């Protein structure tokens, strides 16, 4: 399912070479993972935050590349960093809620990716995934959207493979239920 064309061994070699100062390897390393990291973070924190969080993920990765020993694939290592970046972002957002007086709140929400223009009567898959509990969303996105193995997802989420399997199965059930509820005749999402 990976579309970047680089296998884990190659990405790991690029990471190790980048850690030794090879700029071409650093560029290849970023290009190989950037889109997947962005998609992962988009599902964890929202598309409006994904650009900044992706940049923060690679900044943290590059600060730590000289010490990257390759005990896991560089792909798994970077996704672990991305997950921590998303968790840190949520913690910061919760600890310092922002208040703003915005005259056109709907336009601001659409610009931030929080709602989709004209989507009052339809549900997007992204919105359904965003409604999953965080642990299920992480496992589902890592395995079903990004195509990582259950073992890689377990390493990223720091839990056993069986827990990932369970979270993915429950996420599928939650998504199927949400989809059925939303598409039920006469259902109005605005009123539940």
Residue 49 in domain: yes
**Residue at a domain's end among 96, 127, 149:** 96
- 101 belongs to a structural domain: no
pLDDT of residue 117: 54
Q: What is the pLDDT of residue 177?
A: 84
CATH number of the domain where residue 125 is located: 1.10.10.10
pLDDT reported for residue 182: 61
Q: Are 157 and 40 in contact (CB under 8 A)?
A: no
Asked, for residue 110, whether it belongs to a domain, the answer is no
pTM of structure: 0.64
pLDDT at 180 over 70: yes
Q: How confident is the model at residue 2 (pLDDT cuts 50, 70, 90)?
A: very low
Report in angstroms the alpha-carbon separations of 159 from 67, 73, 76, 133. 23, 17, 13, 16
57 and 1 in a single domain? The answer is yes
Portion of the chain with pLDDT greater than 70, in percent: 75
Is the pLDDT at 100 greater than 50, yes or no? no
Q: Are residues 91 and 129 in the same domain?
A: no
123 shares its domain with 40: no
Instruction: Please indicate, yes or no, if residue 103 is contained in any of the structural domains.
Output: no
Q: Are 69 and 2 within one domain?
A: yes
- pLDDT at res. 1: 35
Please check whether residue 190 lies inside any domain of the structure: no
pLDDT at position 85, please?
95
My answer on whether 91 and 17 are in the same domain is yes
Residues 51 and 119 occupy one common structural domain: no
- Entry field: residues in the chain: 192
pLDDT above 70 for 119: no
pLDDT at residue 178 above 50? Answer: yes
Q: Tell me how many domains the chain contains.
A: 2
| d(C-alpha 54, C-alpha 125), whole Å | 22
pLDDT tens, residue by residue, 7-20: 999 999 999 999 99
Residue 128 confidence (pLDDT): 83
Report pLDDT digits (tens) over 28-55.
999 999 999 999 999 988 888 999 999 9
Query: Residue 55's closest CA among 22, 33, 74, 23?
Result: 33
CATH at 83? 1.10.1740.10
Name the more confident of 110 and 167. Answer: 167
Say how far apart CA 29 and CA 8 lie, in whole Å: 11
Q: Is residue 105 part of a domain?
A: no
CB atoms within 10 A of CB 20: 9
Q: Average of pLDDT values for 138-146? A: 88
Range 110-124 average pLDDT = 50
Is residue 190 pLDDT above 50, yes or no?
no
Query: 163: domain range?
Result: 115-184
Q: How confident is the model at residue 159 (pLDDT cuts 50, 70, 90)?
A: very high
């Amino acid at each position: 399912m990976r579309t970047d064309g680089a296998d884990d061994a190659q990405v790991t070699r690029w990471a190790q070479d980048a850690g030794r100062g090879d700029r071409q390897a650093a560029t290849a390393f970023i290009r190989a993972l950037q889109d997947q990291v962005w998609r992962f973070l988009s599902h964890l924190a929202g598309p409006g935050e994904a650009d900044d969080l992706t940049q923060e993920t690679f900044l943290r990765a590059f600060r730590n590349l000289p010490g990257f020993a390759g005990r896991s694939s560089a792909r798994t290592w970077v996704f672990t960093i991305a997950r921590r970046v998303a968790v840190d972002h949520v913690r910061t957002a919760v600890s310092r809620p922002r208040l703003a007086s915005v005259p056109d709140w709907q336009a601001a929400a659409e610009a931030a990716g929080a709602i989709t223009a004209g989507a009052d009567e339809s549900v997007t898959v992204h919105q359904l995934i965003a409604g999953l509990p965080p642990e299920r969303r992480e496992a589902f996105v890592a395995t079903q959207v990004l195509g990582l193995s259950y073992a890689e997802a377990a390493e990223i989420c720091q839990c056993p493979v069986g827990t990932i399997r369970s979270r993915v199965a429950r996420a599928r059930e939650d998504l199927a239920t949400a989809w059925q509820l939303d598409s039920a005749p006469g259902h109005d999402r605005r009123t539940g």
